[in-house]
Homo-oligomer: A and B are copies of this chain.
């Protein structure tokens, strides 16, 4: 498990995560349309690879497939976040936030949300 999802593949996963129902390859292609200028073949390739990696599932719908995520977005995102924190910050989150802050990366809204979050964590 825990096969890595590449950057391009992520676009496909996002389309599927965003849909409450399984999608055909066509539909995935349509929904990605804006973000990436991909041919439908490229999307098919991505779908095939993601299936092979086991992060997608498919059910047959006549002669087509309907694709659906086999891993939750939350799990993926949590894993990636942890990887980054482990690789670059010795596993500790505070320095990450500090870095984001330095680079103008934190909006006042972010700061407010973080405060609320911390309050909750301490409770």
Residues in chain A within 8 A of chain B (CB atoms): 7, 10, 74, 77-78, 80-82, 84-85, 87-89, 92-94, 96-103, 105-107, 109-111, 113-115, 117-118, 121-122
Copies held by the complex: 2
Q: Is the CB of B99 within 8 A of A117?
A: no
Cα–Cα distance between A115 and B84 once the two chains are bound (Å): 21
Q: Is the CB of A100 within 8 A of B122?
A: no
Q: Is the CB of B118 within 8 A of A94?
A: no
| Contact flag A103-B88 (CB < 8 Å), given A94-B117, A97-B117, A115-B118 | no
Q: Is the CB of A93 within 8 A of B82?
A: no
Q: Is the CB of B114 within 8 A of A97?
A: yes
Q: Is the interface of A mostly helix, strand, loop or mixed?
A: helix
Contacts of A74 in B (CB 8 A): 99, 102
Cα–Cα distance between A101 and B81 once the two chains are bound (Å): 11
Nearest B residue to A113, CB-CB: B94
The 8 tightest CB contacts between A and B, nearest first, are A94-B113, A78-B103, A93-B100, A93-B110, A78-B99, A77-B88, A94-B110, A84-B84
Q: Is the CB of B121 within 8 A of A103?
A: no
